[in-house]
A and B are shown apart, each in its own frame.
Chain A
């Protein structure tokens, strides 16, 4: 079991190329999503604050 895992992680001797590639892919995809979502949350809360000060207006 541990042997199979070790073999998998070794990637036939290419571990130091394969895993950084997948790691960077995860980092880039996660980073872009997280940054976009943070920006969305910020604008949405700004808008909610403005909306709350003017209850008479519909949106």
Chain B
């Protein structure tokens, strides 16, 4: 893990890996869209509205997964102070917020025809809304300090505190009597949904995951180059201010 956590090595590795993830995501999204809209059968109860599930469920999985990633990266950043960990966390957060928003709105669009309501304050819906606010709060906190390291530290603490929400989301449908249905894929005893719907769902989920991986790398690369740009400008400004008297690197003044 530590070997790949060097920014220079990350730049080289991600440059090779990113195109494959992006291509996989594009192919996966194309195939997933075809399977979801043309191959998967209409549900015997939900009719064609079931097709909303093929974007709603992958978005929901990604919303939780990206938060787990954000929390893990934040823990690494707090414990080992590794520069790449903060960069990874900050690159992931807006993507997680996007997936969560997509999950909430598509869920609403499914809820109106199926439940007869756009929104209900049941445990699953509320805990996912809290997840969205955690993402937004993290982004606001990280950018709310003049000193970026302090912002990153505060954001990392928030991300770790918020991790308690993940098991609540996952088990909310078991612990409480929710309008939202319980898990039908990741459950004890195997999936309860039919293969004809499970396969399109998993293809779509894999595509979402590759999409996230590709964009995460792109955003981390952007952050690393931005740091280099800032450092170079700072160096130039210093050189302009004191062209001759600047001490050599490592000199104690």
Contacts and interface: CB of A to CB of B under 8 A. Distances in A.
Contacts of B48: 11-14, 18
Interface residues of A, number: 26
A33 B113 contact: no
Interface of B: 29, 33, 37, 42, 47-49, 51-52, 55-56, 59, 94-95, 98-99, 101-102, 105-106, 109-110, 112-113, 211, 215, 218-219, 221-222, 225-226, 228-229, 232-233, 236
Contacts of A37: 218
A11 B109 CA distance: 14
B101 to A, nearest CB: 7
Contact of A21 (B42, B56, B226): B56
Query: Which 7 pairs from chain A and chain B are nearest by CB?
Result: A12-B48, A14-B49, A11-B48, A25-B55, A43-B225, A21-B106, A40-B222
A9 B109 CA distance: 17
A14 B53 CA distance: 13
Contacts of B112: 17
29 contacts: A11-B49, A12-B42, A12-B49, A13-B47, A14-B113, A17-B49, A17-B110, A18-B49, A20-B109, A21-B110, A24-B109, A25-B55, A25-B59, A28-B101, A29-B29, A29-B211, A32-B98, A36-B222, A39-B219, A39-B222, A40-B219, A40-B225, A43-B222, A43-B225, A43-B226, A44-B225, A46-B229, A47-B228, A47-B229
Nearest to A49: B229
B55 A40 contact: no
A interface, over-half SS: helix
Interface of A: 8, 11-14, 17-18, 20-22, 24-25, 28-29, 31-33, 36-37, 39-40, 43-44, 46-47, 50
A8 B48 CA distance: 10
Contacts of A43: 222, 225-226, 229
Nearest to A24: B105
Given A11-B49, A17-B110, A21-B110, A32 B94 contact: yes
B109 A21 contact: yes
Contact of A17 (B42, B95, B113): B113
